[in-house]
Amino acid sequence: MRAVDIIQKKRNGGVLSKDELSFLIKGYSQGDIPDYQLSAWAMAVFFRGMNAEETANLTMAMAESGDQVDLSAIRGIKVDKHSTGGVGDKTSLIIGPLVASCGVPVAKMSGRGLGHTGGTIDKMEAMAGFRTELTGAEFIAQMNDIGLAIVGQSGNMTPADKKLYALRDVTATVESIPLIASSVMSKKIAAGADAIVLDVKTGSGAFMKTLEDSEELAKAMVAIGTEVGRKTAALISDMDQPLGYAIGNALEVQEAIDTLHGKGPEDLTALCLALSSHMVVLGGQASNLKEAEAMLRDRLASGAALEKFKVFVDAQGGNPQVAEDPSLLPQAPLVIEVPAEQDGYVKAIQAEELGLAAMLLGAGRATKESVIDYAVGVVMQLKVGDNVKKGDSLALLHVREDNASVREVVKRVQQAYTFSSEPVAPSPLLLSVVTEQGVQRF
């Protein structure tokens, strides 16, 4: 078998076999197939596409390129959740304890943030002492003990995906649905869950800008799950504005804790309940979404979800008192107001710009080596549809000091908001759901 023949076959619109894809991915991850040949193949896939079986075979080849986590020693149906990335997305911190409090084991491997999105692991580490690295034995023991663990991804999971991801970035082949779908799903499958719920973001702050593209990606990922025997559902949610109000690590932990107390932002609470409902159904603890949502609301109201959060933080070395006393989280010494420059109604908010603003304050990474400041960030005061008077506070910046670069961030936040003289209705948060049965728009 030769790489050039496989490239030619895909270039001509052929369907690649499981063996051909395994040969290609194995050869590339071991260094036998060079970047230039894989670049040519990726571009052929970009233009020619892949069918569902091909995409599933590519996914499994990438999942099998490194370590695969065996969760069979953990009791119950293990359900994982994945978000395609958004600004202010702290759902994992809420969904983990909420779903686990319903008796569904949540074994989660999360990433760090790069660019304008902060990773779940960075947010967890904002809690002093919290360990995001557990040994395999510790992970299994904690799962069987409390039904919840969130750890960083292990060094040798899906090495083929890491290489291909970097290559796609520099060869203009990022926006290929089969390549995105296999990248996401290979990591989830290697992480060992029995069922997967996906939160696919759409809109200005998301990777997929249109609902149609987002649904295509969701369909591809659900098809992969079905093909490889993992129950999978995907929700399409709006990312035209950040989720909740807080952007920045400790600030987002605080907002997640507020939500577990039943006092969280409406959009964040609604999305967490929707995703969690699908997880509880796939995890076999409820027979339909309505029953699941009632169970989840009960766990929030009774304090059971908050209690699970405390037990989880304690198990991983953090201080569970953080759930009752926000001052235990890192605090920025200075809070600066960002004033509105005109009257009107908030028409749109560029989520990506606000994510970038938080990163410039030190809440995110410009490079892998960047050190994160857990205390800093942006807390929005107004969302789409809100009425505003000139001089009102658009957002609060939590900063170390007031200097020229902070003043630049103030301008950036002001420019992220656009206004209308007429009232504006915010777009709905939940747009559609994709399952094996197809697409259902809300």
Question: Which runs of E-coded beta strand occur in 195-324?
Answer: 195-202, 231-238, 246-247
Q: Which residue of the set 29, 83, 182, 183 is catalytic? A: 183
Give the residue among 171, 165, 179, 141 at the shortest CA–CA distance from 21: 179
Which residue in 163, 187, 231, 278 is the catalytic one? 187
- Contact criterion met (CB below 8 Å) for 225 and 232: yes
Query: Which candidate in 80, 89, 122, 161 is catalytic?
Result: 161
Cα 118 to Cα 85: distance, rounded to the nearest angstrom? 9
* 67 catalytic residue (yes or no): no
Q: Tell me whether residue 168 is one of the annotated catalytic residues.
A: yes
Neighbours of 391 (CB within 10 A): 11
User: DSSP labels for 162-191?
Assistant: HHHHHHHHHTT-TT-HHHHHHHHHHHHHHT
82 is catalytic: yes
The residue assigned the tokens 């892949």 is 50
Crossing angle for the helix pair 18-29 and 52-63, nearest 10 degrees? 30
Q: Closest Cα partner for 292 from 71, 150, 81, 300?
A: 300
Question: What's the rounded Cα separation, in Å, for the pair 280 and 260?
Answer: 17
Give the total residue count for the chain. 442
- Provide the token pair at 3: 């790489």
Q: Which two tokens stand for residue 150?
A: 């969130």
Gap between the Cα atoms of 220 and 218, Å rounded: 5
Q: Which burial class, exposed, middle or buried, applies to 404 when counting CB atoms under 10 A from its CB (0-12, 13-18, 19+)?
A: exposed
By the 10 Å C-beta count (0-12 exposed, 13-18 middle, 19+ buried), 118 is classed as buried
Q: What one-character-per-residue DSSP string does 24-47 give?
A: HHHHHHTTSS-HHHHHHHHHHHHH
Catalytic residue among 78, 82, 116, 231: 82
CA angle 336, 358, 320 (to 5 degrees): 90
**Do residues 88 and 245 make contact, with C-beta atoms less than 8 angstroms apart?**
yes
Q: Is residue 287 annotated as part of the catalytic site, yes or no?
A: no
Task: Answer yes or no: are the C-beta atoms of 429 and 271 closer than 8 Å.
Answer: yes
Identify the active-site residue in 168, 201, 231, 278: 168
Catalytic residue status for 308: no
d(CA 65, CA 42) in angstroms, rounded, equals 18
Catalytic machinery residues: 82, 161, 168, 183, 187
